[in-house]
Structure 1
Amino acid sequence: MGSTIGSLFDAARACLDADTPEDKLARTAQAAADFAEGKFASLDDEREPDPIRMPGRPARPRLVHPRELPRRGFGSNEGRAAFIHAVAHIEFNAIDLAWDAVYRFRQFPADYYRDWVNVAADEARHFAMLRARLQEFGHDYGDFDAHNGLWEMAEKTAHDALARMALVPRVLEARGLDVTPGMIEKLRALSDDATADILEVILREEVVHVAAGSRWFRWCCEVHGCEPRAKFRDLLTEYARPVLYGPFNVEARSAAGFDDEELATLQQLDAKARQP
């Protein structure tokens, strides 16, 4: 698909608006290629981004409250397909989260946009791998219900890049660092190495994505003159109590830019949440 879009922000918006998986993946690949080739000559754009809204979505999956999603084990092919679909839905949302980080926040260094364009391209590749694996189970994206929790956090943080960097990469996406190793172990025990291998790739690359969140969270804190550890604790308390729980993958989170004090804060908040 040839690009006719004049700025990175217009390209990001077009990726956000794409309402089928095929179109979103194609536009993401084109925009990432154009960016890598330097076709977006200027990253200065004084236009105000549009108010945040739901990005383009296919008619399915049906979005429901997380409590309405049935719990399925890995033991049956149907259960494993539902699991793969759930992870694919996370990755599909993550494409939009990366493009919204590009589109919404202006006047950032070029490296900021490079990081989030690369994240968008990675998330699109993750989704494509998971969708292909799902199709091997006789299903496709949209066959199971899903929830909208990731995008809801994007809406809550649309006003503030600092909060977005803290809470989307470093809380919601970092949750994948905690739970994915256990999923891989279960899948390998079931001899489903094909799915486990995909999750290994995703886990390795998500460390880099969360690290980008850590880097730009600290950059925002420096610009705003606030102490990062205290600010992170405040944001966790204000926004993330319902979604913050252990156990935490300390090794992966350390590699993704969490320092010892932040890891201790996570442990403390988790312990407090578990108290009767």
Structure 2
Amino acid sequence: MTETLDAWTTIDGDSEHYLGWRVERLRSLAERLLARAVPLLSVVPRAAAVETKLVLADVLRRDIEAIDLLRTRIHELGDGWEPAWTPPERPAGAALDLARATTGTEVLRRLADGAGELRRAVDAAGDLPAVLDEPTRDVLARVRLLLDQSVAAAARTTPAPEELDVVAAPADPARPMSQPPLPARDARFTLLDPGTPIKHPLAELAPAAQAGYVAQWLLISLEIPTIEFCCRAIQTYDFPFAFVRDMNRQLWDEVRHGQAFLQHSLAMDVPLGEAPATLQLWLATDVDQPELALAIHQRLGERIGIESAFSHVRLWRGLGDDRTAELFAVVAQDEIGHVAIGNRWVRHRSASEDVPRLDERARERRAEFSIASVPRGFEPEAYRRAGFTDEEIELIRLAYQDVQRAAA
């Protein structure tokens, strides 16, 4: 019996031929998603308005998750396809149009216009005879769900005011999908000079405004820069695909944190623009060695984030603000995972005896851009879960003792 699939191929008991046909459909779908994800890796840092940056990052992380699902199934079927995250030499078509968009509204419109085509590609990949295996059906159903979620998320987003709805032009018109020299910042926020220490004046604020201000400060000074760091790392670091998966998971967390901090700030009547914006983290991690960037941002910066988040949990609970405390409790647990990512990939690239010198260089680099490196607390159990050794935890304890003595 011969079962016709379309005008150019048939199945006649030839399982190898059928397998190749199925893999080709899955690869075609994955390449279509990749053609959207690669330009978004540069568009997200170039988008100015925080609302736009968050929703585009949310679309991006879902696209990468869908690519991951398809890649895994393609590998299970015996094909070694790998996504290429670096921009193509000669970009063209919808991907090029996406990279050249000048407003967030235009980017979202192009994404919406392309969603229908992607859905049709999912349907085409699943338009197989009854012998299709259930694992492939499940993967395609999950990819379709991710696409639908992205469309819904974009539709729910309140667009930024027209005068703020800007996506900065690519620095190099010949390479429009490359990472920008500097990310764009929302014009509602005052941009600090790179030499200005990153801190928030909590004690100077009235109690009613403190939680909202801190939430906004963390949104613009830490969550947004970390989203941008994830985009740059995925596109430019030559690591195995497992690294992309790790960074995409962190990207998801940072988007959730950013959305939560944005909503928390607005709910407490703190208008956007009260906290200052910075570029220090982007500049500090603009180094040639990925392991050094990961030490600066993940191993050291996110570790301080653990300490800060736990201290905020205690602070807000003590003030009777359980809502803010619970927000930071979730953030604290996520930060542990982010530090674990940094530790895993620093150790992937560095011998154990080289890590202490890497930490020293990371502290020096942060100091160049007025970013603090001293401990904000001591959380030994969190450090263990994040992948620090007992010897490293002891060094953190000693450093925190120094901080306490200096404050006494």
> TM-score range with shorter-chain normalisation?
0.7 to 0.9
1:44 counterpart residue number: 84
Select the structure of larger CA radius of gyration. 2
Q: CA 1:59–1:14 in structure 2 vs 1: closer, same or farther (change >3 Å)?
A: same
Matched, 1:98 2:230: yes
1:11 counterpart residue number: 40
2:318 counterpart residue number: 189
> Aligned pairs, how many?
267
> Deviations 1:25-80 (Å, cap 9, x if unpaired)?
22212221111112786433566984752212211321222378544357611233
Is the CA contact 2:42–2:180 (under 8 Å) kept in the aligned structure 1?
no
Please identify, of 262-271 and 127-136, the stretch whose mean Cα deviation from structure 2 is larger. 262-271
Q: Among 246, 254, 261, which residue is 1:130 paired with?
A: 261
Q: CA 1:60–1:5 in structure 2 vs 1: closer, same or farther (change >3 Å)?
A: farther
Matched, 1:256 2:386: yes
Which residue type is aligned with residue 53 of structure 1?
A: P
After TM superposition, give the deviation of residue 207 of structure 1 in Å: 0.6
Which residue type is aligned with residue 264 of structure 2?
A: R
Q: 1:190 & 1:33 partners in 2: Cα distance?
A: 37
Is the CA contact 2:190–2:275 (under 8 Å) kept in the aligned structure 1?
yes
Is the CA contact 2:85–2:235 (under 8 Å) kept in the aligned structure 1?
no
- Equivalent residue of 2:350, what SS? helix
TM-score (norm 1): 0.84
Q: 1:68 & 1:28 partners in 2: Cα distance?
A: 25
Please identify, of 86-95 and 119-128, the stretch whose mean Cα deviation from structure 2 is larger. 86-95
Q: Percent identity?
A: 22
Please identify, of 170-179 and 73-82, the stretch whose mean Cα deviation from structure 2 is larger. 73-82
Structure 2: any 5+ residue segments left out of the alignment? 1-31, 72-80, 90-176
1:57 counterpart residue number: 185
Please identify, of 113-122 and 244-253, the stretch whose mean Cα deviation from structure 2 is larger. 244-253
2:51 counterpart residue number: 22
Is the CA contact 1:28–1:124 (under 8 Å) kept in the aligned structure 2?
yes
> Deviations 1:169-208 (Å, cap 9, x if unpaired)?
1111211111221211121122211111111111111111
After TM superposition, give the deviation of residue 255 of structure 1 in Å: 1.0
Which residue type is aligned with residue 291 of structure 2?
A: L
Q: CA 1:208–1:83 in structure 2 vs 1: closer, same or farther (change >3 Å)?
A: same
Matched, 1:232 2:361: no
- Equivalent residue of 2:35, what SS? coil
TM-score (norm 2): 0.58
After TM superposition, give the deviation of residue 104 of structure 1 in Å: 2.3
Is the CA contact 2:343–2:388 (under 8 Å) kept in the aligned structure 1?
yes
Q: Among 364, 369, 372, which residue is 1:243 paired with?
A: 372
After TM superposition, give the deviation of residue 9 of structure 1 in Å: 3.7
After superposition, the CA RMSD in angstroms is 2.9
- Equivalent residue of 2:203, what SS? coil
Q: 1:160 & 1:52 partners in 2: Cα distance?
A: 18
Q: 1:237 & 1:121 partners in 2: Cα distance?
A: 27
Q: Among 343, 352, 356, which residue is 1:214 paired with?
A: 343
Q: 1:251 & 1:262 partners in 2: Cα distance?
A: 13
